[in-house]
Structure 1
Amino acid sequence: MLSKEAERFLREFRIEMMAHGKQDEAIDDMEAELEDHLIQAEQDGKSVDSITGGSVKEYLKNISGEMPRVNNLKKYIMLFIVYLAGILTIPTLIAGTFEWSLSNLMYYAAIIVLGPLLIYKVYSGVIINHTCFKTEKIAPKGYVIIAVFSVLKMGFLIGGLFLVRNYPLVTFFEPSSGVNITIGFILLAVMVIGPLIMKQWFYSFLAFALAAPEIIAQIFADGGPQSESYITISAIALLAASILIMGTLLISSKKDAKKAKN
């Protein structure tokens, strides 16, 4: 029977291995081996620190020679950042409303750089501190933390957009709506074709689904992006796209779960 301290360390170890891009099989094997060591150590009256060195980072230093190689994690992170930047800017480019200002670029840079980091910190903290080791179920307090974080994140996104539109700081240049739309469709083609070449169909689907509401509104709405019909059509299309994306994720996760069981 593992102590709470040992269970916490194992959760931190798994998260750290995932962050280093290790294969799931390698993580499972190393975690099982570490768990055996911790069980034996506690049976012998030894502390967790005597086995692990007191921290996950210290333990990883000690076993660095046994660790499998990283699967190009830095390359994947860079690709993800580029992809995230693309899907965030494409809809406003296609709408013709993207503003090439300092505040706008700072806003998107904050979302791209700080967003994934904050999400990782919050969710890893919940998993480490508020998850049952045996059942892997999140405690109610963990769900409260996630809910509060989600509300704050949405508040930042909405509030940030308000500040960006009202305080551009410095406007670099103001291309015509047609130029913005052309750039948007070129980037959309890259965001759709690129993942397909890499056999990552969901990322192609996601990029197109997020851009589709603006495309539909451009075709069917009477008036520009500020008109009531444009806003209504794009909002309804975005809601439909969101439902479709969530449904696709749900179906995909169920298929993955069935494969894991088999």
Structure 2
Amino acid sequence: MLSKEADKFLTEFRLEMMAHGKQDEAIDDMEAELEDHLIQAEQDGKSLEDVTGGSVKEYIKNISGEMPRVNNIQKYVALFIIYLAGILTVPNLISGDFEWTLANLLYYVGIIVLGPLLIYQAFKFILINFASFKSEKIELKGMVLIFVFSFLFMGLLVGSIFLVRSYPIITFFELDPSVNITIGFILLAILVIGTLVMKQWFYTILALILAAPEIIAQVFTSDGPQSESYLIISSVGLLLGVIILFIGSRIAMKAKK
């Protein structure tokens, strides 16, 4: 039985190797080999540092050359960033309420660049300290931290929107709402077609669910996106979409198991 310190090291090792774009089969083999070494070391009275040097990053530097990379990992990261930018801007474009200001563009750049990094670091900390890949379970403390982080992250996104609208810094230009809506539908079509071609069904559904509330609100109300009726329809639509997505994901996970 491995010590908790060794188990944390294995979890961090797997996460770092995944981040380095290594193949799952190779990670499994190397993790199993490392686990055997750690078990034997503990039986022989040796410490974790004796086997690994104590640093996951240093240990990976010594062995990473032995493990093949996943093909085109950089391409998929770039495509994900493009997709993230798309799903963040499409709903606002379809509502006709997108603002072409410096503050707004900086907001989206910040989300695209810093958002994934912040999420990765937060979940890496939780998985290393409160989860196990073998049991595929997260401790109660980890679940609480995930909830708190998600709440704070969403609060940061929403609060930043109000800040951006209050302080636009520089307004580049103002387009007619109909032009914004047209651009939004074009980008939505590109996202849907692109994810379908790549057979990424989840991302196709996610893009449609995020855009659907704005489309429905545009159809069922003639008022602008700032009106009460529009906000109610779009908010209820988004809530229902998130619920459907969550239930669908749970069903898919159970079916996969």
Give TM-score, length-normalised by structure 1: 0.93
What is the correspondence of 1:1-262 to structure 2 with a 5 Å cutoff? Answer: 1-131=1-131, 135-257=135-257
Q: Is the partner of 1:211 in helix, strand or coil? A: helix
Question: Is 105-114 or 79-88 further displaced after alignment?
Answer: 105-114
Equivalences, count: 257
Q: Is the partner of 2:172 in helix, strand or coil? A: strand
- Kindly provide the amino acid, as one letter, of the partner of residue 47 in structure 1: S
8 A contact 1:100–1:172 mirrored in 2: yes
Return the offset for 1:35.
0.2
Question: Is 52-61 or 62-71 further displaced after alignment?
Answer: 62-71
| Distance across 1 between alignment mates of 2:213 and 2:93 | 12
Q: In the TM superposition, what whole-angstrom CA distance separates every residue of 1:6-45 from its partner, at most 9, and x where no partner exists?
A: 1111111111122123333222211111100111112222
Name the CA shift for 1:132/1:90 in 2 (closer, same or farther; >3 Å). Answer: closer
Two-structure CA RMSD over aligned residues (Å): 1.5
Question: Is 189-198 or 17-26 further displaced after alignment?
Answer: 17-26
| Distance across 2 between alignment mates of 1:18 and 1:229 | 46
Q: Percent identity?
A: 67
- Kindly provide the amino acid, as one letter, of the partner of residue 159 in structure 2: G
| Distance across 2 between alignment mates of 1:50 and 1:28 | 22
| Distance across 1 between alignment mates of 2:160 and 2:81 | 19
| Distance across 2 between alignment mates of 1:41 and 1:246 | 43
Q: In the TM superposition, what whole-angstrom CA distance separates every residue of 1:44-63 from its partner, at most 9, and x where no partner exists?
A: 22221121122111111111
Return the offset for 1:132.
5.1
8 A contact 1:222–1:229 mirrored in 2: no
Q: Is the partner of 1:226 in helix, strand or coil? A: coil
Question: Is 135-144 or 12-21 further displaced after alignment?
Answer: 135-144
Give TM-score, length-normalised by structure 2: 0.94
Return the offset for 1:68.
1.9
Return the offset for 1:185.
0.6
| Distance across 1 between alignment mates of 2:133 and 2:186 | 47
Return the offset for 1:71.
3.0
| Distance across 2 between alignment mates of 1:135 and 1:200 | 27
8 A contact 1:94–1:211 mirrored in 2: yes
